[in-house]
Structure formats: structure tokens, C-alpha cells
Amino acid sequence: MSSTSIFQQYKHPPIVEAVIGVVFDSNVETETVDKIQKKLKKYYSNIQTIRQLKVPISPPLTAEQSRGVIDEEIGRRRSTSDQTEIVIVQKNSITISQLAPYTGWDTFFKRFKRDWSIIKRSLGFRPIKQIGVRYINRIDIPFEGVGVRIADYLKALPNIPDQFGTLSGYSVSAEVQMPDSHCILRLNSGAVPSPLPNCVSVVLDLDLIRNQEVPQSDEEIFATLESMRARKNAFFEATLTEKTRELFNNEST
Amino acid sequence: MNQPSATALIPSNTRHPPESSPSILGRYGDSSTFQSFSAGALKGTNYEPLHIPRANDAFGVLAQKITALAAQPSPSQLDFEADAHSHTLEEQLFEATAGAKILVSRVAMHLDTALRRKLFDQLDSLHDIENWENGDIPLQQESFSTFLKTLFLLRPTIRPGLGLSIRGHLVATWRKGENRLTIEFLPKEKVLWVATISSNGDFEHTASEMPIAKLRERLKPFAEEGWIGK
Amino acid sequence: MDRKMKKGQLLPDDHHVMRHVPWARQSRDADGNVDGILSQAFELRQDEPGLSVNWVEYHKDGAPDPEAACIKTFRRTLDIKRSAVFGIGNVREISKITDAGNHSIRTEYSPTDENSSHSSMKGKALEDLISREKLATSVFVRLIKNADVQP
């Protein structure tokens, strides 16, 4: 058993984006979405509209669908000017996101609680059907021409027989049920084009979702998110090797 | 060849399938779509079949299950472009800088914080509507992506001045006395660079278009002279 | 100054032209201090037959400061931002620039209805990066800030 703490601090954590999401049982009125995003303006100066294009390709079922492409406003996105802090208010969900540089769970969670308090004042009580914590990591592995043995860095890999030869790409998707905590973990991982020169990059996306016995009170929601974060951390640490940990503690590139 | 499994499975204790957005596969890389497929067995207990599909449903069901497992776009990956009917200049300029800042966030764990902040100031200044030239194209994300990669390749210790071409390509300049190195960052990891070297009261010029992979070696003499720092 | 010049005629060698350079095409240090013009300031836009410049000496008659008058012509005919600069280049020096194929740049008179001093720099050499860099670093070296010229 690794002695590494699940709350290990790294000098250069590989977190690209951290997300906390709340999904409601029913849609919120458009006016309420608008009211919420206006109240968040103080903390997020920029605003954009998120739209969704639907293109019906099967026989049309409604008069609206038969008119062709549907361009629908589905929410508002607010962000800070440096684009590291984002909040998305949609008709059935709220998503709060932190992009790199990641400033730590305490700071991120404090922001979530602040924004949740603002949102609830406009929303009132709404039954929640799902909450989630998602961390998207990207592990950048330097290489000098020969290639990288991914198994030296990650334990969540496809099991490919050796006679297939060298992998030039891969991806893994898995879902793990955790009945004890009523959670589902979705893991997505795979090689991606690296934004850095002379590096191989691998994404490790851990999405922890709870849609059963969902807490409804603030106190329970916060406690649940904290424990989900701890579970997510445990999974994260379990996928790493010591070599990966060394990468996260090396000097900046 | 074996046919894919025709049975889709869910555990019996799942009441609601997890909320899913429209079936868009998440975008992780700069220019690629993240393709996902199931690998390995689903873990859990007490599985029961969702249904037993007919033979011609098998692939459709499998595709649905794969899509459900696939990563959904995160907030930073969601397309937030303004409605085409109201795409003002201010919105276009904002989208250009916002897109660039999100690209920077992808590598922020490797960047100095002060450098990041100054870079943002420079980008904001170039896209300030008070300075904007009609007919110019805002910063192209592919050009900025090339710039970021070049920064890591060259690791200049002297920060460059930044400009923008009419086509939305970022331009970086370094000066050393009367000498000047200018690099224009093109899409697809290519650059156009030109060096002006002062020599006995006269000027010599060298220029080339090349992939960034070759740039460090080519610019070595300038680096050794301290043009971009040590 | 001979104002009877015909459209398409070359400007006299000892005369000067002025090029408007917006903020994005100015060369600057990392702190934003302007120190010149980028070669990108001499790129042709798509479908542009030649680089637009104003003939400085056209403004000599009746104007105590032809360069300021030239800038005011720019302001009247284009949307000039406060942060703009204007580079001044000599016609002879422009014509001396050649590319590897020995193509050069000519400066010809091309007045418009709105701007009688309008002229165009034309020639295959404008497609060459080194030629554009030479224009930026050796020819259009004298700069006037728009903010320094009174309305």
C-alpha cells in the first residue's frame, strides 16, 4: 500500500481544470438564470452566452424540428478577465470551474461556497438530482526521441499484447460504481497532442458523480463534496507511479 | 471476426443514468478530438441486462454506451461564441483574447506567474478596441498555440515585444541595440522570422520560414549573442 | 510642387511619403515602449493593389508644416486611432530596395476622390519579407506619433 497521502501537495500539480457541478431536478426559468448571472457579475467581469445547435437528421417529429437547425440559448458563462475562474449557469445546472494555475482545493471550494450562496438567494430551494466533482489532469512527460513507456507513469492503461508493438495513441474509458458512497467514478484517459515541445502528454480525467441519495441541504452538500474530493484524490494517487510524482515536483519547464 | 457484444449492461442499483450533455466528445488537445472506447470490463455487482437488442440494434446500443462513458466537455471547452446575429467587434476581440488565455491556462503549470500576467496585459493591449484597426483579424488561436510552443522551445529570458499582423498572426520582437529579431507565428507550428543585424553602420538581413522544431538550432547564434537572453 | 502630376506617374525621387502604422504593427519592447515599425506594417491586404501612403510634399503649398498637414489628411480620410504612428520614407530609398529576383518598389501617384495626396507603393519586392524588413528598419525610420500632432 502506498504511503502517499491522498492530500499530497505538489509543486506543479498537473491539474488543467477543476470542476464542481450541481444539476437540478427541474429547469430554472430563463429570467432566474439571467438574475443569477447578474448577481455574479461582481466576481466575474466577462459574460458570454452558451448556445446549442440541434440539427435534426431523422424524420421531423415536431413542427419546430421540421424547420431545420435549432439555435437555442442554453445558459450564461461568466469568467474572470484572465479566464481562470468560470461559472456557467444553465437552466438545469450550475458549474463552477477553476483553470490552471490551480490555487488549491481550499481556495476553489471557498469560491464555490460563495457563489452557491449567491445562487441560492436567487434560486430559493430547488431539489438537486446530481452533484459532481471533476478534475482534468494532463501529465507532460519529457522524452528525448525514443518514446515513453506510459506504464512507468500511469496505471490506468489499455492491456495490449506486446506483439502489437509501440502505441502511437490510446484512450481508456471506465466507470466504477461505489455503492457505499452512492457515487460513480468516470475515468477517461489517453494520449493527447502535447502543447509542449519534446513531450508526450496524457490526460487523466476523473469525474465523480453522485445521483443517488443526493444531499439537499447546504451543510450536507458541502460535506459530500469534500468527501467526493477525497475519493477522487485517492483514485488519482492510485493511478500514479513515483516517477509521475517526481515530474510534479520538478522545476517548471 | 467476432461481433461486438449485443447486450448492454447496467448495475441493478443504478436508479438514474448520470446526466449527460449532448453527445459531444470532450476536446483535450489543441486540435484533436478525444476518441474514446471502452477498455476492460465494467466493474460492479448485480448486473442486469438493459434489454436484449435485435441484431441490427447491437452496434447502436454499443455506440450509445461508449458515448455515455466518454468525457463530456468541461466549462473551458464549451463553445461560448456569441450569437452570429450579434457578433460585434468587441465580442470578437474578447473571444480572441479569452481563447488565448485559456490556451495559456493549459500550460500555466509550467509558466512563471509574473510572465503569464504580463503576457495577458500585452494581449489585452493588442486587442484594445481603442487601438483596433478596422479590417484586421483578431489573434488566431493556431498562431498563438505556435507562439506558446516556441516559448517553451527557445526559453527566452528576455521577454519579447508583441504585435499582430493583419492576418491575426502574433509577432514577437527582441531588440539588442540596433539589432532586431522578429518572429511571426503561423498556424501548424511554423514561423516566419527575420533578423536585422547592424554591421559597421550598415544593416544585414536574414529571413526564413521554418517549422519550430528547427528554430532553436537556427537561432542559436542569436541566443549566444544574448538577443533573447541566456 | 507640381500638382499637375497624372495618376500613375512616379513620385520624384527626392520627395517623401508617409505610411500610417496602427498600434498592432508598431515594434515595441516587452513593456510597450514603441521603438519602430514591424515589417508586417508593409504587408498587402488581400486584393490590395498597392500599399497606401500619402505624398508629404503634396501638402507643401500653403501649409507651414506639410507633415502635420499630411497627418490631418489621414485623419480626414481614415479612422486614425490616437495610438497610431506615421512613418516617413524617402522615395529614392524606397526604390533602391530590391528582392533576390532584382524586383524593386515604385511609388506612384494614385489620388482618390477623398484624398488628392494618396499614392501607392507597388512592386513584386513587397512580397519579400526581407524587403519589407528593410522598409521598416532602414527607410521608414522617422516616426511621428499621432498623439503629438494637434487637431
Q: Identify the residue with better confidence: A64 or B175.
A: B175
What local confidence, expressed as pLDDT, does residue B160 receive? 95
Amino acid, res. A70: I
- For chain B, the residue count is 230
Measure the CA–CA gap between B187 and B205, rounded to whole angstroms. 24
Where helices occur in chain A by DSSP H, the ranges are 30-39, 63-66, 105-123, 218-239, 242-249
What local confidence, expressed as pLDDT, does residue A143 receive? 81
Q: Let me know: does B152 contact B175? Beta carbons within 8 Å.
A: no
Chains with ≥3 Cβ pairs under 8 A against B?
A, C
pLDDT at A235 over 60: yes
The continuous run of DSSP H or E covering B121 comes out as: helix B113-126
pLDDT at B109 over 70: yes
Cβ contact C–B (≥3 pairs, < 8 Å):
yes
What local confidence, expressed as pLDDT, does residue A20 receive? 97
Q: Let me know: does B77 contact B26? Beta carbons within 8 Å.
A: yes
Measure the CA–CA gap between B222 and A163, rounded to whole angstroms. 47
**Neighbouring-strand partners of residue B206:** B195
Q: Model's pTM, two decimal places?
A: 0.83
What local confidence, expressed as pLDDT, does residue A54 receive? 67
A172/chain B closest Cα distance in angstroms: 6
pLDDT at A69 over 70: no
Residue C37's nearest CA partner among C57, C15, C53 is C53
Measure the CA–CA gap between B68 and B87, rounded to whole angstroms. 33
Question: Contact B122/C32, CB-based, under 8 Å?
Answer: yes
What local confidence, expressed as pLDDT, does residue B67 receive? 66
DSSP state of B107: H
What local confidence, expressed as pLDDT, does residue B59 receive? 64
Q: Indicate which of A171, A176, A212, A239 best probes the interface with B, i.e. most B CBs within 10 Å of its own CB.
A: A171
What local confidence, expressed as pLDDT, does residue C1 receive? 54
Question: Contact B182/C27, CB-based, under 8 Å?
Answer: yes
Question: Contact B166/C35, CB-based, under 8 Å?
Answer: no
What local confidence, expressed as pLDDT, does residue B188 receive? 94
Question: Contact B182/C81, CB-based, under 8 Å?
Answer: no
Q: Identify the residue with better confidence: C39 or B202.
A: C39
Chains with ≥3 Cβ pairs under 8 A against A?
B
Residues of chain B contacting residue C81, judged by C-beta atoms under 8 Å apart: 130-133
pLDDT digits 0-9 by tens, A111-160: 999 999 999 999 888 999 999 999 999 999 998 767 788 889 999 888 88
Among the partner-chain residues C24, C30, C81, the one whose CB lies closest to the CB of B160 is C30
Q: Let me know: does A23 contact A129? Beta carbons within 8 Å.
A: yes
What local confidence, expressed as pLDDT, does residue A147 receive? 73
Q: What is the largest CA-CA distance in chain B?
A: 85
pLDDT digits 0-9 by tens, B128-141: 999 999 999 999 99
Among the partner-chain residues B31, B74, B81, the one whose CB lies closest to the CB of A134 is B74
What local confidence, expressed as pLDDT, does residue B153 receive? 92
Among the partner-chain residues A15, A49, A193, the one whose CB lies closest to the CB of B30 is A193
What local confidence, expressed as pLDDT, does residue A57 receive? 64
What local confidence, expressed as pLDDT, does residue A85 receive? 96
> Residue holding cell 498587402?
C44
Is the bond into A179 cis (omega within 30 degrees of 0)? no
Please report the residues numbered 8 through 27 in chain A whose beta carbons come closer than 8 angstroms to any beta carbon of chain B.
Answer: 12-17, 19, 23
Q: Let me know: does A24 contact A92? Beta carbons within 8 Å.
A: yes
Among the partner-chain residues C29, C35, C81, the one whose CB lies closest to the CB of B131 is C81
Residues of chain B contacting residue C29, judged by C-beta atoms under 8 Å apart: 161, 175
pLDDT digits 0-9 by tens, A7-23: 778 888 999 999 999 99
pLDDT at B1 over 80: no
Question: Contact B112/A212, CB-based, under 8 Å?
Answer: no
What local confidence, expressed as pLDDT, does residue B4 receive? 26
Question: Contact B35/A171, CB-based, under 8 Å?
Answer: yes
pLDDT at B2 over 80: no
Task: Tell me the torsion sign for CA atoms A109, A110, A111, A116.
Answer: positive
Question: Contact C24/B184, CB-based, under 8 Å?
Answer: no
Q: What is the mean pLDDT of chain B?
A: 74
Residue B49's nearest CA partner among B37, A183, B57 is B57
pLDDT tens string, chain C, 151 residues long: the values are: 556 789 999 999 999 999 999 999 999 999 999 999 999 999 999 889 999 999 999 999 878 999 999 999 999 999 999 999 999 999 999 999 999 999 999 999 999 999 999 999 999 999 999 999 999 999 999 999 999 999 8
What local confidence, expressed as pLDDT, does residue A11 receive? 86
pLDDT digits 0-9 by tens, B163-175: 999 999 999 999 9
What local confidence, expressed as pLDDT, does residue B177 receive? 87
Return the percentage of chain B with pLDDT > 70, whole number: 65
pLDDT at B52 over 50: no
Return the percentage of chain B with pLDDT > 90, whole number: 51
Q: Indicate which of C19, C20, C38 best probes the interface with B, i.e. most B CBs within 10 Å of its own CB.
A: C38
Measure the CA–CA gap between B24 and B30, rounded to whole angstroms. 16
Residues of chain B contacting residue A95, judged by C-beta atoms under 8 Å apart: 75
So what's the ipTM on this one?
A: 0.94
Q: Identify the residue with better confidence: B83 or A107.
A: A107
What local confidence, expressed as pLDDT, does residue B150 receive? 95
Task: Tell me the torsion sign for CA atoms A221, A226, A227, A233.
Answer: positive
Among the partner-chain residues C43, C79, C133, the one whose CB lies closest to the CB of B205 is C133
Report the range of poorest mean pLDDT among A150-159, A209-218, B26-35. B26-35
Question: Contact A99/B102, CB-based, under 8 Å?
Answer: yes
Among the partner-chain residues C27, C38, C83, the one whose CB lies closest to the CB of B131 is C83
Cβ neighbourhood burial of A191 (10 Å; 0-12, 13-18, 19+)? buried
Residues of chain A contacting residue B15, judged by C-beta atoms under 8 Å apart: 211-212
**Cβ of C11: how many Cβ atoms within 10 Å?**
25
Among the partner-chain residues B29, B34, B39, the one whose CB lies closest to the CB of A158 is B39
Sorted by sequence, the CB contacts under 8 Å of residue A129 that are 6+ apart come out as A23, A24, A25, A211, A214, B16, B19
pLDDT at B33 over 60: no
pLDDT at B20 over 80: no
Cβ contact C–A (≥3 pairs, < 8 Å):
no
Residue C41, C-alpha cell as written in the block: 506594417
Please report the residues numbered 64 through 103 in chain A whose beta carbons come closer than 8 angstroms to any beta carbon of chain B.
Answer: 71, 73, 77, 79, 81-84, 86, 88, 93, 95, 97, 99-102
pLDDT at A253 over 70: no
Residues of chain A contacting residue B113, judged by C-beta atoms under 8 Å apart: 101
Cβ contact B–A (≥3 pairs, < 8 Å):
yes
